[in-house]
């Protein structure tokens, strides 16, 4: 017994010391990141929501279960880690007291059953993981595999270690039953089977096997602990922490304001020498950013949904995270060195790593290639899929911010966009007066706000730059106005007083220009609404909808904003709009990323379509939260797409597979991008001439109008 105690304690001391050393080193590294006081504050003030998130994402494995077989396998392995902690408590207790059981619950047969059951279920999970890995292994260099460039060797070692946990557990428990030291009389069905198999060996051998099984079980756990601390499987410890400190409800929707040393940057007193503008080196990320990098499991779920990666671009969200992690770890001795003298003594490879620019091409040895950075459409598919709540979009945008604000380095064609936004407050550089051109020819008057929103007006209609100035999008604007008029909704527009919300400036990384545009709009809106209790806005564009509702509160603009599909669907439900004219056509709906994934508005546009008589709607293979981007977001609308297949062409191919008569959407940018791709497909003979792209509002107005009125068609 004394030897057993001594060996058990010695192993434990060594295991914890080696793992603890590494964890302390990682903690010190994370502390070198920028502070993120808002994350701590969010946990403090929203502890209930955080607990719910832990229950759903960590304990319920919500996101992983969307991937049926691997998700279920992971679910069982995760719960084995939780439930088998009780077996380790029993094992440590048995080191000192042969007849130990956990107080209160330690002889309850349900616990004995749960321990054995979860071990068997997790073993089946291991077999499934092994099969998935064998099946994908030969393809691992293929960019179509979600394990492309993932570290699969380590994964096999982890599976082997988990297997070792199980057999040592049953050896220890089976022999303990035979020596009369097992706490459960019934329930532990696998342990009882092991006991039956070992019983013929006699009590003496079973006693020796019990000690050997116990020590082996502890040794496996301690070795496992060390392996986890030194490998990418750190996510086993870090995932709950990362979920705890993640943005709620997710890292989508609004972008975070730019912070330096934990404080939001005020551009009026910012000091480029003191303040950190975006990210120019890995230690400029906050500790939460560094935690994100260390938490990545390399599962590749993000990459499998990324429109850039799926169309042959160099951007792979998994590799962005793992490349940043590998760089942070390789540069860590330099970051942690306390003096220049200490840094001088570091090995050459560490010094070389420290000199790599964060963003740079092959010649510059950059960690992230500029083509990677500028390929992102900020569609959020990666963030939506990530099972450990990594916030890829924030990191990509923070790197863009440094490139744009400090280096003035971005795709040259975006120059025109930024100049037009700065000088004319719209991407096309048109005069403000042109913002009312879309009203020409309407058979009712559209009220224009003159300083104050009139008292009888319920909604301010935020038309947006595309809705006001882009010819195809203007048809949607007219349809919405007509529908609101028919439903008797009192609305008004800002006309020339409206300016770009700043979304494209913010997504390209020009936070300064975003602030300028946004502050101007917030001043106009606050003045227009005055002290009205209800400040209702209906936005035509999902990008405007996202910015007005979720980003303007960051700068003092609090409004009650709905997207046009939400309001129109409500008007149909209330009977204020009645679609009567049948549209006997087949249709497929494309989810705009900033309406769907970023703001979870999936149902209202579909409800509108469902209410149009005669319409036969079919879903594309990738829809709702797995919808595929049109290629316009992240200011990509104003950049050339030189690498790989065009994202809009890929999306239209997916729609064409259903052979629809109509493709519908609810965003002016999607309308333009998909419209361009359809026009090309028609030219090449790959799409029928009659195929049309329309906003759901255009369809609704066609159906609501009396049959004798001419329908306005888009081509």
Residues near ligand SF4 (CB under 6 A) are: 296-302, 305-308, 315, 317-318, 321, 376-382, 385-388, 390, 392-393
CB of 303 to ligand SF4, least distance (A): 6
Other beta carbons within 10 Å of 269: 7
Nearer to ligand SF4, 148 or 589 (CB): 148
CB of 6 to ligand SF4, least distance (A): 41
Nearer to ligand SF4, 117 or 669 (CB): 669
CB of 375 to ligand SF4, least distance (A): 7
CB of 295 to ligand SF4, least distance (A): 7
* Per-residue CA distances from 75 to 60, 159, 224, 302 (Å): 8, 15, 19, 19
Other beta carbons within 10 Å of 398: 25
Nearer to ligand SF4, 393 or 677 (CB): 393
Q: Exposed, middle or buried by CB within 10 Å (0-12, 13-18, 19+), for 3?
A: exposed
CB of 39 to ligand SF4, least distance (A): 18
**How far from chain centre, in Å, is Cα 604?**
23
Nearer to ligand SF4, 319 or 540 (CB): 319
Q: Are 564 and 639 in contact (CB under 8 A)?
A: no
CB of 320 to ligand SF4, least distance (A): 7
Three-state DSSP state, 663: strand
Nearer to ligand SF4, 316 or 665 (CB): 316
**Rounded CA separation 547/328 (Å):** 33
DSSP 406-446: TS--S-TTHHHHHHHHHHHSSTT---GGGGGGGGTT-SS--
Nearer to ligand SF4, 175 or 297 (CB): 297
Q: Exposed, middle or buried by CB within 10 Å (0-12, 13-18, 19+), for 425?
A: buried
Nearer to ligand SF4, 234 or 608 (CB): 234
Which residues make Cβ contacts (< 8 Å) with residue 119, sequence separation at least 6? 80, 84, 166, 169, 170, 190
Which residues make Cβ contacts (< 8 Å) with residue 337, sequence separation at least 6? 343, 346
CB of 234 to ligand SF4, least distance (A): 11
**Rounded CA separation 146/233 (Å):** 17
Query: Can you give the C-alpha Rg of the chain in angstroms?
Result: 30
Nearer to ligand SF4, 369 or 485 (CB): 369
Nearer to ligand SF4, 68 or 684 (CB): 68
CB of 91 to ligand SF4, least distance (A): 31
Nearer to ligand SF4, 650 or 692 (CB): 650
**Rounded CA separation 231/296 (Å):** 11
Nearer to ligand SF4, 150 or 260 (CB): 150
**Rounded CA separation 128/136 (Å):** 12
* Per-residue CA distances from 455 to 47, 170, 177, 492 (Å): 41, 76, 81, 11
Which single residue is written with the structure tokens 């390209």? 508
- Exposure class string for 516-531: b at 16+ Cβ within 10 A, else e: bbbeebbebbbebbee
CB of 98 to ligand SF4, least distance (A): 43
Other beta carbons within 10 Å of 50: 18
* Per-residue CA distances from 232 to 153, 239, 284, 298, 347 (Å): 11, 12, 22, 8, 24
DSSP state of 64: G
**Rounded CA separation 111/103 (Å):** 12
Nearer to ligand SF4, 67 or 167 (CB): 67
CB of 695 to ligand SF4, least distance (A): 23
CB of 296 to ligand SF4, least distance (A): 3
Terminal-to-terminal C-alpha distance of the chain? 85
Nearer to ligand SF4, 187 or 627 (CB): 627
Three-state DSSP state, 619: coil
Q: Are 377 and 639 in contact (CB under 8 A)?
A: no
CB of 682 to ligand SF4, least distance (A): 27
CB of 60 to ligand SF4, least distance (A): 17
């Amino acid at each position: 017994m004394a030897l057993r105690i001594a060996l058990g304690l010695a192993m434990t001391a060594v295991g914890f010391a080696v793992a603890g050393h590494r964890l302390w080193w990682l903690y010190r590294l994370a502390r070198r990141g920028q502070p993120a006081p808002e994350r701590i504050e969010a946990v403090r003030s929203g502890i209930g929501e955080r607990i719910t998130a832990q229950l759903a994402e960590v304990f319920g494995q919500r996101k992983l279960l969307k991937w049926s077989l691997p998700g279920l396998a992971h679910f069982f392995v995760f719960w084995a880690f939780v439930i088998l902690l009780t077996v380790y408590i029993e094992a440590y207790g048995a080191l000192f007291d042969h007849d130990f059981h956990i107080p209160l619950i330690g002889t309850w047969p349900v616990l004995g059953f749960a321990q054995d059951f979860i071990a068997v279920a997790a073993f089946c999970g291991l077999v499934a993981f092994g099969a998935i890995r064998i099946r994908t292994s030969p393809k691992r260099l293929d960019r179509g595999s979600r394990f492309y460039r993932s570290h699969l060797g380590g994964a096999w070692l982890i599976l082997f270690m988990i297997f070792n946990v199980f057999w040592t557990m049953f050896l220890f428990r089976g022999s303990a039953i035979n020596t009369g030291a097992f706490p459960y009389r019934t329930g532990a069905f696998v342990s009882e089977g092991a006991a039956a198999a070992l019983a013929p060996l006699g009590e003496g051998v079973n006693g020796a096997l019990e000690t050997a099984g116990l020590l082996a079980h502890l040794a496996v756990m301690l070795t496992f602990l060390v392996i986890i601390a030194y490998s990418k499987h750190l996510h086993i410890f870090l995932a709950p922490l990362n979920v705890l400190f993640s943005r709620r409800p997710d890292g989508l929707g609004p972008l975070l304001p730019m912070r330096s040393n934990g404080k939001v940057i005020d551009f009026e007193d910012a000091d480029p020498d003191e303040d950190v503008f975006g990210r120019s080196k890995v230690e400029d990320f906050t500790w939460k950013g560094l935690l994100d990098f260390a938490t990545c499991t390399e599962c590749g779920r993000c990459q499998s949904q990324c429109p850039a990666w799926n169309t042959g671009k160099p951007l792979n969200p998994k590799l962005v995270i793992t490349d940043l992690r590998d760089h942070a770890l390789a540069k860590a001795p330099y970051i942690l060195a306390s003096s220049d003298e200490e840094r001088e003594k570091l090995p050459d490879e560490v010094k070389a790593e420290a000199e790599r620019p964060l963003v740079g091409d092959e010649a510059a040895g950059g960690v992230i290639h500029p083509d990677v950075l500028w390929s992102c459409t900020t569609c959020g598919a990666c963030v939506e899929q990530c099972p450990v709540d990594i916030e890829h979009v924030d990191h990509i945008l923070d790197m863009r911010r440094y490139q744009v604000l400090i280096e003035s380095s971005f795709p040259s064609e975006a120059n025109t966009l930024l100049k037009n936004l700065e000088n004319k407050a719209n991407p096309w550089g048109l005069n403000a007066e042109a913002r009312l051109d879309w009203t020409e020819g309407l058979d009712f008057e559209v009220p224009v706000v003159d300083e104050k929103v009139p008292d009888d007006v319920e909604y301010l209609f935020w038309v947006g730059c595309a809705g006001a100035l882009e010819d195809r999008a203007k048809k949607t604007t007219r349809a919405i106005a007509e529908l609101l008029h028919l439903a008797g909704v009192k609305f008004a527009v800002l006309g020339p007083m409206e300016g770009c919300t700043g979304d494209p400036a913010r997504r390209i990384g020009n936070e300064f220009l975003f602030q300028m545009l946004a502050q101007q709009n917030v001043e106009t809106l606050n003045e227009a609404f005055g002290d009205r209790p209800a400040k209702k806005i209906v936005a035509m564009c999902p990008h405007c909808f996202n910015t007005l509702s979720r980003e303007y509160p960051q700068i003092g603009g609090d409004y009650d904003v709905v997207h046009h599909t939400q309001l129109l669907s409500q008007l149909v439900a209330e009977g204020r709009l009645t679609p009567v004219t049948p549209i006997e056509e087949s249709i497929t709906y494309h989810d705009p990323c900033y309406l769907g994934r970023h703001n979870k508005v999936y149902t209202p546009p579909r409800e509108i379509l469902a209410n149009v008589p005669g319409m036969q709607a079919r879903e594309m293979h990738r829809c709702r939260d797995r919808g595929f981007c049109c290629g316009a977001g992240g200011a990509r609308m104003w950049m050339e797409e030189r690498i790989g297949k065009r994202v809009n062409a890929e999306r239209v191919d997916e729609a064409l597979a259903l052979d629809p008569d109509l493709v519908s959407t609810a965003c002016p940018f999607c309308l333009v991008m998909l419209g361009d791709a359809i026009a090309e497909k028609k030219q090449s003979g790959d799409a029928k001439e009659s195929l049309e792209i329309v906003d759901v509002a255009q369809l609704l107005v066609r159906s609501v109008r009396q049959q004798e009125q001419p329908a306005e068609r888009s081509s």
